[in-house]
Chain A
Amino acid sequence: MNNPQDNAGNSIHQATFISGHALNVPTLRVLNESGGVIDGAQMPRIDQELAQRIYDTMVYIRVLDERMVGAQRQGRVSFYMTCKGEEASIIGSAAGLSDDDMIMAQYREHGALRYRGFSSENFMNQLFSNGKDLGKGRQMPIHYGSSELNYMTISSPLATQIPQATGYAYGQKLAGNDAITMCYFGEGAASEGDFHAGLNMAAVLNAPAIFYCRNNGYAISTSTDEQYAGDGIAPRGVGYGIETIRVDGNDCLAVLLATQTARQYALAENKPVLIEAMSYRLGAHSTSDDPSGYRSKEEEESWAKIDGVLRFKTWMETQGWWSQEQDEALFDKYRQEILSALKVAEKIAPPRLGELVTDVYSDVPKHLQQQLGELKLHIAKYPEHYPAAKESH
């Protein structure tokens, strides 16, 4: 019920603004810039096994990204996007989840997918759009998805996953699942209407979701000072009545701590949490982008110095959980594994021609059967013009 007395106790009698910058949101940090634990910092729940799983994933993604950018330059795949600079943010947050939690990502979060166990074969089959791609060769490279791993298939339009995550989480709550939904997006996507719609609905309808904003400094070429005028994305969560925390995205332990805490809260209270992870996209937006047109080498280098993978590795070494020899061996192992998976995947035939018309609907309706039939007759007339279709017959 709306009550006119509700605001009576908090009135002013002079026209006084609340400053647009009144919320000075602090940043959670556990590791300092050289990888040492800050005195008095709360530690996440982490043991050697978890730390090694996180670091293993970081190395895998570094190798995959390096190899696939090379493959794109060689013309072997059409397109690629790297995670470089954000590994600690993405993998550290994925490590704070349960495997039953649904992940609805934007596109740069393949580290989270790998953390869940997506294989080299799965990555390569998607990147090469071959007949074994779970997505049946329908989407551009990096649009991964896996029902088995609770990782929603990526779609290119930005922020559409945000209200969807609210709905998914609401459904999990009604079903009584011991699981939440993790929703990743960038600070650029937070300018879309779907961001506002999704967070507001999650707050009002009490959906157990974590909204994880990867603030990486750039939306393609647009820097944050051209994206928003306020103090980043975090204050918006407060505006929606959502529990909010900002974290150093290059500090894997802080990211893990924030995510573990957020998950626990979301599940116990059936309410959303907003995490804003401050990081930097060290690589280009995609292989179609050249960052030298909009930012300086000095800027990139200043962020490379506080790289999250390096800081986490240093911390692990201090724990006695990791050595230089192990590191070199791991890089070698993944370089070989990824290269051989690549060589296999690029030779696998494309999906059957018939897959062109499946999955539009649950069954192939009559008009699509007819259209496929006509297409086959046409291809039969000009087989040399459609070599891929011939190969897949």
Chain B
Amino acid sequence: MAQMNLLHAINNALDLAMADNDKVLCFGEDVGHFGGVFRSTSGLQDKYGKARCFNTPLTEQGIIGFANGLAAQGSVPIAEIQFADYIFPAFDQIVNETAKFRYRSGNEFNVGSLVIRTPYGGGIAGGLYHSQSPEAYFTGTPGIKVVVPRNPYQAKGLLLASIKDDNPIVFFEPKRLYRASIGEVPEEAYEIELGKAEVVISGSDVTLLGWGAQMETIEKASEMAKEIGISCEVVDLRTLLPWDVDTVAKSVTKTGRLIISHEAPLTGGFAGEISAMISEQCFLSLESPIYRVCGLDTPYPLIQEKEYVADHLKIFEAIKASVNF
């Protein structure tokens, strides 16, 4: 075991994957010698050469188009989009190409080896264009998997599992936690199964569900609730597509209450989908409405970020409202 922050854990996973398989390539804007603007690919070009870890021109649609071609050819591309806010020029390549490659060809071809890594989320004073959480644009796209880790240990295990998985993956990295989240991480390779939620804290009164950086905020709210005698079960969804309905439904059946919290805006957010499914699955067990604590339906603000975000106090209030309904 070693102490690693989330960036080290990502870098370590990429290092192990590149050492394990010559076909693994890491590329994107500033990814090469510089090691990425967040330094997640630091040292990889020195170690594995310029052919396998390199800068691309500044074109997100090009990066993902290129990655699709590489994956179809049999390489294992790990493409970085520098900020999730800038993934949209690549949206067509992801939604119409990556996600449909296997289906449309009747499995004559696939891009299952592809992983798209991208830092997402707020909390770094990044304003409109360095803060977004665009996961719900992708969860409506059959054919890709969407994965979001919450800490260094999870990041390494989920990223290695994503690289090994035979399906294309959009891997959202919580950039607020890149250096802020530090934990024990095994130095050797290990994988965390995709498509499985994790019960992080067991509880009995209300289920709190989230993913990524929001888990830290949710845990903080659960501690406040504990102090006033409310027992929260905290669940990390980890994989958003396809998502683990069973683990969530089992928890809600036990607690009778569900609060979902994400950074992205309320309307059209993935919490809506979870809420609908859990209403169907757990209707007779529910003792209060399913609440969503999310970003406001505005662009991500700058100076009013503190007011905008789904913070621990807003979640705490939702917990009380749910229990006292």
Given A164-B65, A194-B62: A152 in contact with B109 (beta carbons within 8 A)? yes
A366 to B196, CA, bound (A): 12
Given A197-B59, A204-B57: A162 in contact with B108 (beta carbons within 8 A)? no
* Contact residue among A138, A167, A174, A193 (Cβ-Cβ distance under 8 Å from B67): A167
User: Cβ of B142 and Cβ of A164 under 8 Å apart?
Assistant: no
Chain A residues within an 8 Å CB radius of B289 = none
| Interface residue stretch chosen among A139-147, A224-232, A285-293 | A139-147
User: Least Cβ distance of A81 to chain B in Å?
Assistant: 17
User: Cβ of B104 and Cβ of A360 under 8 Å apart?
Assistant: no
User: Cβ of A153 and Cβ of B105 under 8 Å apart?
Assistant: yes
User: Least Cβ distance of A76 to chain B in Å?
Assistant: 22
* Contact residue among B59, B74, B89, B242 (Cβ-Cβ distance under 8 Å from A365): B242
User: Cβ of A194 and Cβ of B72 under 8 Å apart?
Assistant: no
A201 to B109, CA, bound (A): 23
Return 26 A-B CB contacts under 8 Å, by A number: A102-B73, A136-B106, A138-B106, A155-B97, A160-B65, A162-B65, A164-B68, A167-B68, A167-B73, A168-B70, A168-B73, A171-B73, A174-B51, A174-B75, A175-B73, A193-B89, A194-B92, A198-B62, A200-B59, A205-B56, A360-B103, A361-B242, A362-B167, A365-B195, A365-B242, A367-B242
Chain A residues within an 8 Å CB radius of B69 = 104, 163-171, 181
A164 to B70, CA, bound (A): 7
A365 to B166, CA, bound (A): 13
Chain A residues within an 8 Å CB radius of B66 = 163-164, 166-167, 170, 197-198, 201, 205
B residues near A, CB below 8 A? 25, 51-52, 54, 56-57, 59, 61-62, 64-75, 77, 89, 92-93, 96-97, 100, 102-110, 112, 142-143, 145, 166-167, 195, 242, 245
Of listed A165, A168, A171, A174, residue having the most chain B CB within 10 A: A171
Given A143-B104, A171-B69, A361-B143: A160 in contact with B109 (beta carbons within 8 A)? no
User: Cβ of A167 and Cβ of B70 under 8 Å apart?
Assistant: yes
- Interface residues on chain A, number (Cβ under 8 Å): 49
Chain A residues within an 8 Å CB radius of B71 = 167
Chain B residues within an 8 Å CB radius of A147 = 105, 108-109
User: Cβ of B70 and Cβ of A134 under 8 Å apart?
Assistant: no
Chain B residues within an 8 Å CB radius of A196 = 59, 62
Scan residues 116-150 of chain A and give those whose CB is less than 8 A from a CB of chain B: 133-136, 138-139, 143, 145-147
Minimal Cβ-Cβ distance residue in B for A365: B242
A256 to B51, CA, bound (A): 32
User: Cβ of A360 and Cβ of B65 under 8 Å apart?
Assistant: no
A136 to B107, CA, bound (A): 9
User: Least Cβ distance of A170 to chain B in Å?
Assistant: 6
Number of A-B contacts (CB under 8 A): 156
* Contact residue among A135, A155, A170, A361 (Cβ-Cβ distance under 8 Å from B70): A170
A232 to B53, CA, bound (A): 35
* Contact residue among A133, A166, A362 (Cβ-Cβ distance under 8 Å from B102): A362
Chain B residues within an 8 Å CB radius of A167 = 65-73, 75, 77
Minimal Cβ-Cβ distance residue in B for A146: B108
User: Cβ of B103 and Cβ of A359 under 8 Å apart?
Assistant: yes
* Contact residue among A104, A153, A168, A365 (Cβ-Cβ distance under 8 Å from B104): A153
* Contact residue among B25, B54, B72, B143 (Cβ-Cβ distance under 8 Å from A152): B72
User: Cβ of A193 and Cβ of B61 under 8 Å apart?
Assistant: yes
Chain B residues within an 8 Å CB radius of A57 = none
User: Cβ of B57 and Cβ of A201 under 8 Å apart?
Assistant: yes
Chain A residues within an 8 Å CB radius of B92 = 157, 160, 194
* Contact residue among A160, A205, A368 (Cβ-Cβ distance under 8 Å from B96): A160
Of listed B25, B71, B97, residue having the most chain A CB within 10 A: B97
Chain A residues within an 8 Å CB radius of B103 = 138, 359-360
A350 to B29, CA, bound (A): 45
